[in-house]
Chains A and B, each alone.
Chain A
Amino acid sequence: MKHQEKTVSKHNFEECMKCTVCTVYCPVLQVNPRYPGPKQAGPDGERLRLKDPYFFHYALKYCMNCKRCEVACPSGVGVAELIQSARIKYDHSAPKLRDRILASTDLMGKLARPVAPLVNGVTRLGLTRSVLDATLQVDHRRVFPKYRGRSFEYLLKRRAREQAMFLEQVAYFHGCYVNYNNPQLGLDLVKVLNALGVGVQLLDKEKCCGIAMITNGMSAQARRNAEHNISCLRKAGAADGMKVLTTSSSCTMTLRDEYPNLLGVDNADVRDAVQMATRFVFERLEAGATLRFKPGYHKKVAYHVPCHMERLGWGVFSERMLRMIPGVEFTLLDSACCGIAGTYGFKKENYEASQAIGEPLFEQIRAVDPEVVACDCETCKWQIEMSTGYRVENPISILADAIL
């Protein structure tokens, strides 16, 4: 008997048995009835699109690419991958100016950094936000992230010699957010790793991971960034045992999984080297490394697992690392999307949906009433801070604050 042992369809799409479980966990479907849902937009739609691209539907743009469908799928179907790759393949409309601007996090950072106080002041103004809303459809209720005058790259380059003194070295893919908006998080990581006897290096001119470009119809540019970044990782020795740490779950998932699965950029030799910093720190602490903690430290921390961290399956590392800090009173928040999904929630047409998706999470945070919410994703941080008023920090920053 002739027999094919494994499914060979892309993104495992033939494994879908129409059980509808993905529709239960899609945050968009819960608030936006215009969205056909992961099953129809993904494997069901793919059958039609394979017959005739005519069946590609504009409503696929409502997918936030949060990957909750893939985590829920009992059959291992790459549901969100099917949706995003259909957008890449069939949607040839040019992205709007607004989407280009939102997706170009690297370029925006470069432009804003030298005039950061001005930019921060202007984006805080109600008038500016009304103008942005009217002209670009960036929702006026959205709070913009602040830019810093000194980039993380600049700050770390000044300490390159000191970092090179450490016998053990890791490279750090800091991403746009740490570089332009929150260099302190990068410095916190340096503090923690130095305390573990590890020095931190920059990559040779990393570019934005490209996740926002993928969801905003700029896949060609995302692919160029991917190729550039993978060659940076190779140059740093990631294929020969050099670890490349990250502090953003979305950048990490993009570097590891979206590059090969959506953009067709081969990363097999460097994929394993790319790891969340919390995982690295947890490994060290579990292997017996010690940190000197501040005496009498106490902090009530509620941990939110970002969607892409959930997809990586690595929330457990951040959780365990936080629990290892003496004096941390830890609560794990229910698995739920905060609603921002990168650039998604900034768009006027998505604002209401974005806030409605996040509401159960916000409600739980208010009920737990922590001193700080821990979270490995910068856009979740903006969303939760704006929507609840609670301070949100990366687990690495919380650890850095707890050690001497």
Chain B
Amino acid sequence: MRFDTVIIGGGLAGLVAGISLQQAGRSTAIVSTGQNALHFFSGSFESMLEAPERLTALFAGAGIRVHYNPGFRLTPLGTFREAALSLEDISLFPEAKFADKALIACVPGYLDYFSAFLAEGLEKQGIQCRLCSLDLPEELQDGSVERRSVQLARLVDRDWKKIVQQIRLMIKDEDAVVLPQLCGLQDASVPEHLRQEIPARVVFAGTMPPSIPGIRTQRLLKRRYEVLGGTYLSGDEALEAQVEGNRIMSVRTRNLDVHALEASHFILASGSFFSKGLRSNPFRVWEPVFGADVSYAEDRNAWYNPEFAGDQPYMQFGVKTDAALHALVGGSPRENLYVIGSVLGGTRPEFGSGAGLAIRSAFAAVDQILESL
């Protein structure tokens, strides 16, 4: 099967590249081996200090609304981090003390949300906090039933009016209400409804994964890509590439076996260790599809920091490229293979830099592909 560009990886980087190329009239395919880091997305593009028109337009086309307000966002642990560009349901504050008094709502039996940490963090900023409990919908009152973000979000999307009712009954003189980010999974307008109907500033606080705004973003981007005519191969896996000189000719996948994906350009957006874009054993780290060069420490003891929460050197490992993002193989660049997103390495999840890297590198690769024929 022949395409203009074949993209390995269907997460944020791969989809942004795929949508951009389809919009420019190029035919593309995305090979996606399972779901991706968008399912862990905070909703903020923290390392993006600007709001590129190009990105906001691309998202708007997919029905994803973002806003730009340089300031701070609230983390699930009650701390504040700098952020400028975010999905619309993520609140951004000019300063961390965003209210005088906050009502923090939690869900009984839902273990992926830390209201006590939130209260502690807000108190530190001088926000007076009160905790309250939301009643569970009938379906989830049985204690044996698993309560995860997705199950709860489906019910909140359906019954958001009941949440409004409960909050209106419980609120006293608070000027802010903190709710877990458990809405807007299918229906993106629910966060907005809650904000309009609750008589105080509504702030959504992130939960443990899977991330509701992240899943929604993935779904909308994938749909947009397919509407533009892109071929999204879910659950397939790129196995190996056929190379001639310094050019990649085609990539073979597990499901399509003899039907290799031929293209003029290839983009590697396969993610880091979690997504198996990078593989490792106790002796080495490698990139499995193209055998691209990977930068990593020779001494295995230098891979890890015994301080668990400290900087982990292995997070810096990634595929080596030239300045134009061409992958290096045996030291020489593959002229039609671009590397984007976290397979490049060097991201710092604690700084939220993954999304920014994904988007910037995707645009950089797309621009070069569109310049060539």
Q: Which residues of A contact B (CB under 8 A)?
A: 1, 3, 5, 17, 19-21, 23-25, 29-30, 33-34, 36-37, 40, 70-76, 272, 283, 286, 310-314, 316, 319-320, 332, 334-335, 360
Specify which chain B residues have a CB less than 8 angstroms from the CB of A33 in the assembled complex: 139-140, 142, 145-146, 151
Interchain CA distance A61-B246 in the complex, whole Å? 53
- In the complex, identify which listed stretch (B81-89, B172-180, B226-234, B319-327) lies at the interface while the others stay far away: B226-234
Specify which chain A residues have a CB less than 8 angstroms from the CB of B34 in the assembled complex: 21, 71-76
A313 pairs with B151, CB closer than 8 A: no
A316 pairs with B231, CB closer than 8 A: yes
Interchain CA distance A19-B209 in the complex, whole Å? 8
Specify which chain A residues have a CB less than 8 angstroms from the CB of B346 in the assembled complex: none
B276 pairs with A74, CB closer than 8 A: yes
Specify which chain B residues have a CB less than 8 angstroms from the CB of A334 in the assembled complex: 223, 226
A-B contact count (CB 8 A): 94
A29 pairs with B233, CB closer than 8 A: no
Lowest 7 A-B CB distances belong to which pairs?
A313-B255, A71-B235, A74-B34, A33-B145, A21-B35, A313-B236, A33-B139
Q: CB < 8 Å: which of B209, B254, B259 contacts A20?
A: B209
Report A72 CB to chain B, min CB distance, Å: 5
B36 pairs with A29, CB closer than 8 A: no
Give the size range of B's interface with the partner: 35 or more
Q: Is B355 an interface residue (CB 8 A)?
A: no
Q: Is B150 an interface residue (CB 8 A)?
A: yes
Given known A-B contacts A24-B215, A73-B34, A19 and B234 have beta carbons under 8 A apart: no
Q: Is B60 an interface residue (CB 8 A)?
A: no
Closest residue of B by beta carbon distance from A36: B146
Chain B facing A: main interface SS: loop
Given known A-B contacts A21-B210, A33-B151, A314-B255, A3 and B282 have beta carbons under 8 A apart: yes
Specify which chain B residues have a CB less than 8 angstroms from the CB of A319 in the assembled complex: 231
Specify which chain A residues have a CB less than 8 angstroms from the CB of B257 in the assembled complex: 272
Given known A-B contacts A34-B145, A36-B146, A74-B275, A312 and B281 have beta carbons under 8 A apart: no
Specify which chain A residues have a CB less than 8 angstroms from the CB of B140 in the assembled complex: 33
Report A230 CB to chain B, min CB distance, Å: 20
A313 pairs with B234, CB closer than 8 A: yes
13 contacts between A and B (CB under 8 A): A23-B148, A24-B210, A25-B35, A29-B151, A30-B150, A30-B151, A33-B146, A33-B151, A37-B148, A40-B146, A74-B274, A74-B275, A313-B233
Closest residue of B by beta carbon distance from A59: B144
Interchain CA distance A30-B149 in the complex, whole Å? 11
Report B198 CB to chain A, min CB distance, Å: 26
Interchain CA distance A1-B36 in the complex, whole Å? 32
CB-CB contacts of B137-171 with A at 8 A, as 1s and 0s? 00110100110101100100000000000000000
Specify which chain A residues have a CB less than 8 angstroms from the CB of B195 in the assembled complex: none
Specify which chain A residues have a CB less than 8 angstroms from the CB of B142 in the assembled complex: 33
Given known A-B contacts A20-B148, A21-B34, A24-B215, A70 and B255 have beta carbons under 8 A apart: no
Q: Is B116 an interface residue (CB 8 A)?
A: no
B235 pairs with A310, CB closer than 8 A: yes
Closest residue of A by beta carbon distance from B150: A24
A30 pairs with B234, CB closer than 8 A: no
Specify which chain A residues have a CB less than 8 angstroms from the CB of B97 in the assembled complex: none
Specify which chain A residues have a CB less than 8 angstroms from the CB of B235 in the assembled complex: 70-72, 310-311, 313
B256 pairs with A24, CB closer than 8 A: no
Specify which chain B residues have a CB less than 8 angstroms from the CB of A76 in the assembled complex: 33-34, 237, 276
Report A24 CB to chain B, min CB distance, Å: 5
Interchain CA distance A330-B274 in the complex, whole Å? 36
Interchain CA distance A3-B280 in the complex, whole Å? 12
Q: Is B39 an interface residue (CB 8 A)?
A: yes
Specify which chain A residues have a CB less than 8 angstroms from the CB of B145 in the assembled complex: 33-34
Closest residue of B by beta carbon distance from A31: B154
Interchain CA distance A46-B165 in the complex, whole Å? 42
Closest residue of A by beta carbon distance from B142: A33
Specify which chain A residues have a CB less than 8 angstroms from the CB of B1 in the assembled complex: 286, 316, 320
Report B304 CB to chain A, min CB distance, Å: 15
A24 pairs with B39, CB closer than 8 A: yes
Most A CB atoms within 10 A — which of B231, B234, B257?
B234
Specify which chain B residues have a CB less than 8 angstroms from the CB of A335 in the assembled complex: 234
A3 pairs with B35, CB closer than 8 A: no
CB-CB contacts of B1-44 with A at 8 A, as 1s and 0s? 10000000000000000000000000000000111100100000
Specify which chain B residues have a CB less than 8 angstroms from the CB of A311 in the assembled complex: 235
B150 pairs with A23, CB closer than 8 A: yes
Report B61 CB to chain A, min CB distance, Å: 17
Specify which chain A residues have a CB less than 8 angstroms from the CB of B253 in the assembled complex: 313
Most B CB atoms within 10 A — which of A36, A272, A335?
A335
